[in-house]
Amino acid sequence: DAGVIQSPRHEVTEMGQEVTLRCKPISGHDYLFWYRQTMMRGLELLIYFNNNVPIDDSGMPEDRFSAKMPNASFSTLKIQPSEPRDSAVYFCASSLEFGEAFFGQGTRLTVV
């Protein structure tokens, strides 16, 4: 398996634009997590899914953020409209029920 795949690796966008981050989890994993890493807050959990169903989205900072998992092999994190303070590295991770989470390489988002 190629591991968790995220795209794009880097995204630079202008304030106000819509941004969509994509993630392909490891096949067979039934948990998917979206994390955001910043200098100030470290690695913070935004939302996680179990069997494609959102379980806990309490970490989503604002209504501008939304996440979907239409099937077991794909998830998106969307920011609309984007703001400069959204600039961060966004990680997707997946896991089995009783196992460690495997992370993708992340998407570095810069909003100017």
- Phi, psi values for residue 86, rounded to 5°: -80, -10
- Residue type, position 22, single letter: R
Per rule CB under 8 A, is residue 106 in the interface with other proteins?
Answer: yes
In sign, the C-alpha dihedral spanning 96, 34, 59, 88 is: positive
Our finding on whether 91 is near other proteins (CB under 8 A) is: yes
Q: Which is nearer to other proteins, 4 or 19 (CB)?
A: 4
Is residue 102 a contact partner of residue 93, using CB atoms and an 8 Å limit? yes
Residue 5 binds other proteins, judged by CB under 8 A: no
Residues in contact with other proteins by CB under 8 A are 4, 31, 33, 35, 41-45, 48, 50, 55-56, 91, 93, 95, 97-98, 100-106
